[in-house]
Amino acid sequence: MEVVPAALARLIHDFERLPGIGKKTATRLALHILRRPEAEAQGMASDLAELHAAIRLCDTCFAFSESNPCLICSDSGRDGQVICVVEGPGDLMAIEKTGVFRGVYHILHGVLSPMDGIGPAEIKVDALLARVKKGGVREVLLATSSTVPGEATAAYLVECLKTLVTVSRLACGIPLGMDIKYADEHTLARSIEARMIRK
Ligand SMILES: [Zn+2]
């Protein structure tokens, strides 16, 4: 006998389709929403319903935005000559949280992964090259992940961009607060290669 009411089962199923959510968590979330006042569920439902209509991609940097160009691209206080290239919108948010980057962004919406059939045409590479070729760009900072596809994407972009503009890459190294003897050898090797001269 099915003990879960159909409407609740549908919501559990919806949550289960989200990344990182298993059946247990999905059930807990759905029951939580059911126990809360109906207005909260209505609010969530209308937020979800309006999401796609309210948000679009910025034509310049491909960030999710309610305006086009986005708030960052249209901010005259930012340095439009320095473009930070990231894999996805979450990376932009993480870098913005640091408050130290005052340039603009270019979101690839993916990384090169030939095994999965993702080549340059599947991510926003051409748009990046067009942006740089248009001129007025001093530096492109490659901030893709230090994973195999992230590094491959960075290496590909270096080849495409090195004759056009100064290309930099995020430094990789020992996390703050970490004891050096516990760092893995690849991280330690990269830290030595990317070492900085202190004056
Ligand atoms: Zn933008």
Q: Give the distance (Å) from ligand 1 centre to CA of residue 50.
A: 21
Q: Give the distance (Å) from ligand 1 centre to CA of residue 71.
A: 7
| pLDDT surpasses 70 at 112 | yes
Asked whether residue 100 is domain-assigned, the answer is yes
Q: Give the distance (Å) from ligand 1 centre to CA of residue 51.
A: 18
Q: Give the distance (Å) from ligand 1 centre to CA of residue 105.
A: 7
Instruction: Report d(CA 23, CA 31) in Å as an integer.
Output: 12
- Residues with Cβ within 8 Å of 101's Cβ and at least 6 positions away in sequence, in order, are 84, 95, 141
Asked whether residue 25 is domain-assigned, the answer is yes
Q: 127 and 93 in one domain?
A: yes
- Written as six digits, the tokens of 163 are 């004759």
Q: What is the pLDDT of residues 55-85, one digit of tens each?
A: 999 999 999 999 999 999 999 999 999 999 9
CATH number at residue 43: 1.10.8.420
Instruction: Report d(CA 168, CA 191) in Å as an integer.
Output: 16
Q: Give the distance (Å) from ligand 1 centre to CA of residue 8.
A: 39
Task: Give the structural domain span for 12.
Answer: 6-54
Q: 155 and 82 in one domain?
A: yes
Q: Give the distance (Å) from ligand 1 centre to CA of residue 75.
A: 9
Q: What is the pLDDT of residues 140-190, one digit of tens each?
A: 999 999 888 999 999 999 999 999 999 999 988 888 888 989 988 988 888
